[in-house]
């Protein structure tokens, strides 16, 4: 793949972007990228595609906040007429709480939210609706891209040499495919959530 702005390079970016927006598993195409190109080239495509995804989602959220439709107004009127006052107040409280949380969110909290499984498109749209700083999606995305690229570098790139040097006799493929690695990762994530929640809301 050439890094010139034509041909395969742009095609891979647009294909990766399409996969990220469509309800399709992205892992097969990511594996294709990293197995058919250098780590740098594949990582650059992955970074540009995910950044474009978040930027487009942010712009959609920003635009949706500026457009008032009759459908939205009719939906609000329908809720007021068909639901109790108490229920409507609860909805307003939830919406107000969510808005305040997003307004006061930090880069670290966005990283944790994505780790918890909140989709980056949802986060970017929410940030766009509040006209939040672009760094709130750009920095976390860069953070996760670096982690993903490092993972594939160790798994199928030259990073495997460093892994085998520091852990002689250990097969990296066997480690990542081991059920014990999965269980250990799961326990680590659960422990992290518990510690983070305790420190955050104690």
Burial of 55 (0-12, 13-18, 19+ CB in 10 A): middle
Say which residue, 154 or 120, is predicted with more confidence. 120
Dihedral over alpha carbons 98, 101, 107, 108 (to 10 degrees): -100
* Tens digit of each residue's pLDDT (9 = 90 or more) over 58-82: 999 888 766 654 455 555 555 555 5
Contacts of 142 (CB under 8 A, 6+ apart): 47, 51
Q: How many residues does the chain have?
A: 202
Does pTM top 0.85 for this prediction? no
More confident call, 67 vs 148: 148
- Cα–Cα distance, 3 to 44 (Å, whole number): 9
* Pick from 100, 108, 101: nearest CA to 135: 108
Residues 173-189: tens digit of each pLDDT? 666 666 676 677 667 76
Residue 39: the pLDDT is 87
Residue with tokens 């966005």: 110
Q: What is the pLDDT of residue 153?
A: 85
Per-residue pLDDT tens for 77-133? 555 555 555 555 655 555 555 556 666 778 888 887 888 778 899 889 888 888 888
User: How far, rounded to the nearest angstrom, does the alpha carbon of residue 90 sit from its chain's CA centroid?
Assistant: 29
What residue ranges do the domains of the chain occupy? 8-67+106-169, 171-202
Whether the pLDDT of residue 35 is over 90: the answer is: no
């Amino acid at each position: 793949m050439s890094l010139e702005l034509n041909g395969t390079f742009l095609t891979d970016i647009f294909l990766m972007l399409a996969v990220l927006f469509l309800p399709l598993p992205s892992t097969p195409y990511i594996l294709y990228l990293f197995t058919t190109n250098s780590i740098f080239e594949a990582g650059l495509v992955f970074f540009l595609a995910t950044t474009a995804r978040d930027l487009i989602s942010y712009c959609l959220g920003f635009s949706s906040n500026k457009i008032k439709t009759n459908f939205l107004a009719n939906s609000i009127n329908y809720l007021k007429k068909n639901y109790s006052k108490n229920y409507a107040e609860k909805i307003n409280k939830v919406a107000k709480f969510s808005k305040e949380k997003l307004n006061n969110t930090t880069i670290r909290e966005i990283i944790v939210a994505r780790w918890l499984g909140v989709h980056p498109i949802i986060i970017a749209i929410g940030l766009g609706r509040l006209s939040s700083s672009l760094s709130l999606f750009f920095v976390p995305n860069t953070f996760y891209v670096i982690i993903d690229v490092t993972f594939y570098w160790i798994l199928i790139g030259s990073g495997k040499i460093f892994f085998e040097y520091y852990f002689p006799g250990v097969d990296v493929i066997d480690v990542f495919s081991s059920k014990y690695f999965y269980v250990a990762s799961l326990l680590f994530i659960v422990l992290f959530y518990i510690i983070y929640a305790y420190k955050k809301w104690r």
